[in-house]
Structure 1
Amino acid sequence: MSGAGAPTQQPVDCHDLRVAVVAASWHTQVMDGLLAGAARACDDYQVEAPVVVRVPGTFELPVVAGALAAQGYDAVVALGVVIRGGTPHFEYVCNAATDGLGRVALDHQVAVGFGVLTCDTEEQALDRAGLEGSHEDKGYEATSAALLTAQTLKRVRRGYEA
């Protein structure tokens, strides 16, 4: 199980952060779960009015995440799912999304939550989507990671070590 060894994080007050969530549209049930997890995390971390933007698919996440980062959001959470098929399409989309979101984080010096599921089967995606019966809640985890990283970046920019 990929969730083994995850750190225990307590929510902190992030009411002062501007947060955007950009979410793909493919695989509706999985995406609904990921978005619900992101919303729960925003509530737990006291994020006020996160912006949610939908895009057609996972390939489109980086360009919109970059546009949101350029608008000054403190954290951008990217949610998507790619399920392996019988062609190399899986590798191309996964690599493009991963590389692109990494570039957004580095180029804009913004926290980017990586909530892109890359699964062999739909069952694996459902098990990570934070739905009833799921073993993991990757939408929540990606949002929590982005929020905690955004808080760390604020401290670093003010001259604190961490």
Structure 2
Amino acid sequence: MSKHGAPTDTAAALAQLDGAGLKVAILAASWHEQVMNGLIDGAQRAAADAKIGTVDLVRVPGSFELPVAAKALAEKYDAVIALGVVIRGGTPHFDYVCQAATMGLTQVSLDTLTPIGFGVLTCDDEAQALDRAGLEGSAEDKGYEAFSAAVLTLAALA
């Protein structure tokens, strides 16, 4: 399971932050509404734990569109949290979208020096996505984790 080795003190680290002056964008794809709602809720819980002053939600059609939107947002926000889900199908489409989203978001972060929280789930099936979405009964909360990673990276760079 991917949760193995995850830090256990993330909520405590966020609680130590004074995020009142920070502007953070949660950027979310629209496919797989139930999973996306869980990821967004997790990111918003992390924002509350970090006491972030401004948190705006921006929606795009899918995970492929995350990098271009993240680039535009990175110029206006201290951090961007990119949330999406891609579920494997019977064609190579899964591989192309996952690679494009991953490489694109990485490039945005490097080009802008803006932390980008990577909350794009790449799953074999819907059950795996639901188990990572931070919903009641989910084993993981990747929205919370992605938000935490970006904001704690921002704090480390300050």
Which range, TM-score by smaller chain? over 0.9
**Distance in 2 between the 1:109 and 1:79 partners?**
19
Q: Contact 2:46 / 2:148 at 8 angstroms: preserved in 1? A: yes
RMSD of the alignment, in Å?
A: 0.7
**Distance in 1 between the 2:66 and 2:123 partners?**
17
State the shift of 1:7 in Å.
1.1
| Match of residue 130 from structure 2 | 126
State the shift of 1:48 in Å.
1.7
Q: How many pairs align?
A: 153
**Distance in 2 between the 1:58 and 1:95 partners?**
10
Pick from 98, 101, 117: which aligns with 2:102? 98
Per-residue CA distance 1:98-149 (angstroms, 9 max, x = gap): 0000001000001000000000000000000000000000000000000001
Pick from 40, 52, 61: which aligns with 1:56? 61
Query: Structure 1: which 5+ residue stretches go unaligned?
Result: 155-162
Pick from 87, 108, 112: which aligns with 2:91? 87
Pick from 37, 43, 48: which aligns with 2:42? 37
State the shift of 1:49 in Å.
2.7
Q: Contact 2:44 / 2:144 at 8 angstroms: preserved in 1? A: yes
Other structure's SS at 1:14 match: coil
| Match of residue 107 from structure 1 | 111
How does 1:142-153 map onto structure 2 within 5 Å? Answer: 142-153=146-157
Identity of aligned residues (%): 65
Other structure's SS at 1:50 match: strand
Other structure's SS at 2:121 match: strand
State the shift of 1:13 in Å.
2.3
**Distance in 1 between the 2:97 and 2:119 partners?**
14
| Match of residue 5 from structure 2 | 5
The one-letter code matched in structure 1 to 2:112 is H
Q: Contact 2:116 / 2:150 at 8 angstroms: preserved in 1? A: yes
Q: If the length of structure 2 is used for normalisation, what is the TM-score?
A: 0.95
Query: Structure 2: which 5+ residue stretches go unaligned?
Result: none
Name segments (4+ residues, structure 1) moved above 3 Å. none
